[in-house]
Amino acid sequence: MIRLADARILHLFANYKWTGPADPAIRSAARLRALGCDVTFAQAGFVHRGGEHKVAEVLWERGMPVVAGLELRKHFRPASLLRDIASLRALLRRDRYALVHCHLPADHLLATLACRRLPRPPVIVRTLYEPEAPPRGWREAFAFRRTGGVIVPTAAAQRGVQSRFQLAAERVLLQEPVTERRDLDGPDQRVRWGIGPDQRVVGITARIQPNRRFDLLWATARVVADAFPTVRFALLGRGNEQDTRVHVTAPIARLGLAQHVMLPGYQAGPDYDAALRSLDVFLFLVPGSDGTCRAVCDAMAFGVPVVATQRGILPELLAVRRAGEIPGVPCPETPEALAAEIVRLLRDEPLRRQRGEAALRRARLDMDPVRAALRTQELYARLLAEPPGIR
């Protein structure tokens, strides 16, 4: 039995890129540290030539203590994995970590392999960021069999983990995605974008890639513009030159949407906050590398009503939690269905305000990061309190 107050905790993240789960993983570790947990973050040592170690930059900015010496590659490389097993095992022995928190499949497998020969292995916890439990392959079966607790974002993932990997219900914590509380009264971008007080803006945050359904976006925009000619769509995202030409500029020209579309590009920090304050409706089509759809949660934190498809976690994010409060609508994946819901919101200001208020309450009450950190802390304490043979 180990008291949480005496426990050293190590978070693993097998990627140096600013991929979808990076932000929630680092924020979770930082929140736990703010609550008094002795948390250290393992910083990936492997970086592709010319690559930007954004994860390291953010860890530095957040003041997170880090440990080096692990490659932590995203993809399976036997030689690299063997080196990391030896390094992590030595690190666990030297620094006596009581709990290892894993965030990605590669670091989860690494942790379970490194702990095998330790006389007093640490508790292993895994956070999942997808709405469904992972398939039961040999790596997953091996790793989850040696895992003390799992944190999942949806009820479906919770059921799937329990049934596929035979984990007891008390070991699988359902924790909805979180989002930070935002300042609603800060600056926006409407004047900069040339948006008049009577015009309406529909925003979408998406990296410009072939799999993000830009064909559906522009077809929807065309239908909306025909019904509501003063609308403007703001695409907050970037891509390479070819993808931008093929999936953005060419179809905009072909469909005659130039006067209805703004391309502010990638926005970060205060600029992204200002962009979200500028929106009347938020549109989201396809989850990217972050299965928890952080962009939708962020929009809701600014009180922006959401229109989305029914993919992945989106129906659960937009589900009604309180009677009469609808934060957004998951629609069939057709231009007509999406456009009808957008036009309805653009034309009906009371409805738009009502949905925005519901989105804001959903974000503040159900997606509170402090509450999430407290629940994670409770899971840690419960697992550490168990006799070593039960973990």
pLDDT digit string (tens) for 281-304? 999 999 988 889 999 999 999 999
95-122 pLDDT, tens digit per residue, is: 999 999 999 999 999 999 999 989 999 9
Whether the CB-CB separation of 307 and 342 falls below 8 Å is answered with yes
Q: How far is CA 259 from CA 233, 245, 263, 272, 274, in A?
A: 9, 17, 11, 22, 22
> The pTM is what?
0.92
Helix then strand then coil, % of the chain, to nearest 5: 45, 15, 40
Query: Who contacts 67 (Cβ-Cβ below 8 Å, separation ≥6)?
Result: 10, 40, 41, 42, 43, 91, 95
Architecture of domain 190-366: 3-Layer(aba) Sandwich (3.40)
Q: Is residue 124 classed as helix, strand or coil in its secondary structure?
A: strand
Mean pLDDT value across residues 79-107:
97
What mean pLDDT, rounded, does the chain reach? 94
Alpha-carbon dihedral angle through residues 320, 323, 326, 332, given to the nearest 10 degrees = 50
Helices (H), the chain: 22-34, 54-61, 78-95, 105-114, 138-145, 155-165, 190-193, 214-227, 241-244, 250-254, 269-277, 294-301, 314-317, 335-347, 349-366, 369-384
Question: Under DSSP, is residue 35 helix (H, G, I), strand (E, B) or coil?
Answer: coil
> Residues 131-179: pLDDT tens digits?
999 999 999 999 999 999 999 999 999 999 999 999 999 999 999 999 9
Residue 238 clears pLDDT 70, i.e. is over it: yes
Domain 4-178+368-384 class, CATH top level: alpha beta
The answer for residues whose C-beta is within 8 angstroms of residue 282's C-beta and 6 or more apart is 202, 203, 204, 205, 276, 296, 299, 300, 304, 305, 306, 307, 328
Cα–Cα distance between 335 and 223 in angstroms, integer? 7
Whether the per-residue pLDDT at 390 is higher than 80: the answer is no
SS3 345: helix
- The pLDDT of residue 15 is above 60: yes
pLDDT for 389:
56
Ordered by start, the domain boundaries in the chain are 4-178+368-384, 190-366
pLDDT digits (tens, 9 = 90+) for 63-78: 999 999 999 999 999 9
Q: Which residues lie closer than 8 Å to 93 by C-beta, 6 or more apart? A: 118
> Is pLDDT above 90 for 51?
no
